[in-house]
Chains A and B, each alone.
Chain A
Amino acid sequence: MASTGAHGEHNYLNHQKGIWSWLTSLDHKRIGIMYFITVMIFFLVGGLFALAIRTELWSTGETIMTAETYARVMTYHGAVMVFLVIIPGIPAFLGNFFLPMQIGAKDVAFPRLNLMSWYCLLLGAGVALLSLLYGGADTGWTFYTPYSIKHAPAVICMALGVFIAGFSSILTGLNFVVTTHKLRAPGMTMNRIPLFVWALYSTAIIQVLATPVLAITVVLLAAENIFGIGFFDPALGGDPVLFQHFFWFYSHPAVYIMILPAFGVISELITTFARKTIFGYTAIAYSSLAIAAVSFFVWGHHMFVSGQSEFAGVVFSFLTMLVGVPTAIKLFNWIATLYKGSINLASPMLFALGFMFLFTIGGVTGIFLATVATDVHFHDTYFVVAHFHYVMVGGTLMAIMGGIYYWFPKMFGKLCNDAWARISFVFIFVGFNVTFYPQFVLGSLGMPRRYFDYLPEYEHLNKVSTIGSYLIGIGFVVALITIIHGLLKGKPAGPNPWGAKTLEWQTSSPPPHENFHTTPIVTAGPYEYR
């Protein structure tokens, strides 16, 4: 038992001491912080790969690396960012920390599984990195067959790494589903849970339903490499496109694993910093569930030019348009919340507004790509690259940054320097647009993705894009310094520096080991501002 009061106020950070107490901790808050650190390190790695890609593309021909190296760098950038950064990013880090607190619970339903999921992520990352010993995988993060079934040990390592990391995601999802069902505080009915919880809950459903299919797919991929089982090998009558079906059955819903929690964060930020009750709580809540459900019906839009039947292409194209509806519902409700609110442009709000702007561009260009006729032109060009970076970086990463600045005072009991946080926003936001907007143009001019070289006429815009990527890099360095400075020198935050209404702000900062001094009893909705 930890001593209480010996070191000032008792909280989860000083509840127990030493690195071992962290590595064996069953406290969802500590596991959340462990995810924070892990994801930040992976983000650094993935980010360095990204800068290497952009540096190579500074000029035509071989700039700093060969074509073979470039293919590997691009693969690891994608795989690290997708499987190790964005997917665990919000749910396993911010979600782990705040989902139980927002519903007034003391912990997640299965704390041991929660810890295990963190180790699964590390182990999965470790096994995937073993592939570097075999020269590295160069298939892109999607591991498309038949290129990926050439008996390559590197692909086997990546497949098994993804399999194990997938367990991490499944366990987090499982935990969140049961926690949301069973551990809500008295009075916390399902239509009083904060929108961040709704988003995480919808995400958890996707994690539970989609990830197992990825698991069997990568097992089959590994078996294909080891035994040549032939499911995806045309020589045995197998079908390479079937791999894409299985892969995207997971990976399309997975992009909602990435973006839905971001929607949740934005809902929290908008209502808090507009100091106004969220507009259309029910609509936003159920649109999260709707997106989760629809996400399973649209995966074929990744395969319009892959040899999928034209009929299936038309069906998937139509179904894909449906995703636009719940997404737009969210956006309009956020804008309606801002209307006549007392908007406070603190750094988290800047990220939220940046999110709305960038995500809208990402979403609307997604409609271009969902339309078969235009996709045939845009497919595998930089237009696609720009589109999903607007969604994943302009969307999810902006939300993560906003979420970090928003909840930092709660997690550590200290304030970040808001001026520096805003400077980091300016660098990231400007740098992001400078990097990726030209890629829309490049893509519509026909520049294909995944090559280390390009035609000379694309050089100017590529130079602009590369400069932008360095600006993003500077922005994240500033953000990192701001966070570390806040940790070391930040002023005491007090329990509720932003005047937010959800439950996590009603306890001390940092929270005590059991989250609340007394179990909260809920009598009203989550955002009772005015």
Chain B
Amino acid sequence: MGNTSHGAHEHHIIPLKTYLQVFAALIFLTFITVAVTWFDFGAFNAVVAFGIASVKAALVLAYFMHLKYDNMMNRVIIGTGVFFLLVLWFFSILDIVTRVSEQSTL
């Protein structure tokens, strides 16, 4: 198929080695995710877990999903999605934490 055509596709091809390195990093980070639960960071437990997950997510997005080499628009699209998700989170939680309740919720 299509072996006669050339020039139309200048897609960046990520080398095999990079994929394997990213995979190794992801496995390492998964181990870290589990390992940090052996320690207690108090209020920061959730932050640490969430931070590691976000690093992993960023690796998947940048390399496996090729965003690092993709055009700006696709990054904007995914960024917009995340931003408006934060909006939903922010205002919902804003309501919950600023409620003045007379009795316990349960």
Contact = CB atoms under 8 A, between A and B. Distances in A.
A209 B84 CA distance: 7
Nearest to B95: A312
Interface stretch (B1-9, B47-55, B98-106): B98-106
Contact of A308 (B80, B81, B87, B95): B95
Interface string A304-321: 000111111001100000
Interface string A300-344: 100000011111100110000000000000000000000000000
Given A296-B84, A297-B91, A312 B98 contact: yes
Nearest to A209: B84
B88 A213 contact: yes
B34 interface: no
B-side interface mostly:
helix
Contacts of B88: 213, 245-246, 249
Interface string B67-106: 0000001000000110010011001101110111000011
Contacts of B91: 245, 297, 299-300, 312, 315-316
A322 to B, nearest CB: 14
Interface string B2-33: 00000000000000000000000000000000
A307 B105 CA distance: 13
B95 A209 contact: no
B105 A237 contact: yes
B90 to A, nearest CB: 9
B70 to A, nearest CB: 14
A213 B87 CA distance: 12
B87 A297 contact: yes
Contacts of B80: 205, 209
A237 B100 CA distance: 16
A512 B88 CA distance: 45
Given A245-B92, A297-B91, A309 B99 contact: yes
Contacts of B73: 181
Interface in A187-225: 205, 209, 213
A302 B18 CA distance: 50
A299 B84 CA distance: 13
Nearest to B104: A237
A297 B90 CA distance: 10
Contacts of A309: 94-96, 98-100
Contacts of A481: none
A209 B81 contact: yes
Contacts of B94: 309, 311-312, 315
A236 to B, nearest CB: 9
Contacts of A300: 91, 95
Most buried by A among B84, B88, B95, B99: B95
A449 to B, nearest CB: 24
Nearest to A299: B91
A249 B106 CA distance: 26
Contacts of A242: 92, 96
Contacts of B99: 307-309
Given A246-B92, A300-B91, 12 more contacts: A209-B84, A237-B105, A239-B105, A245-B95, A296-B87, A297-B87, A297-B91, A307-B99, A309-B96, A309-B99, A310-B98, A315-B94
10 contacts: A209-B81, A213-B88, A245-B88, A245-B95, A296-B84, A297-B91, A308-B99, A309-B94, A315-B94, A316-B91
Interface of A: 181, 205, 209, 213, 237, 239, 241-242, 245-246, 249, 296-297, 299-300, 307-312, 315-316
The 7 closest A-B pairs by CB, nearest first: A311-B98, A309-B98, A312-B95, A309-B99, A237-B106, A245-B92, A209-B84
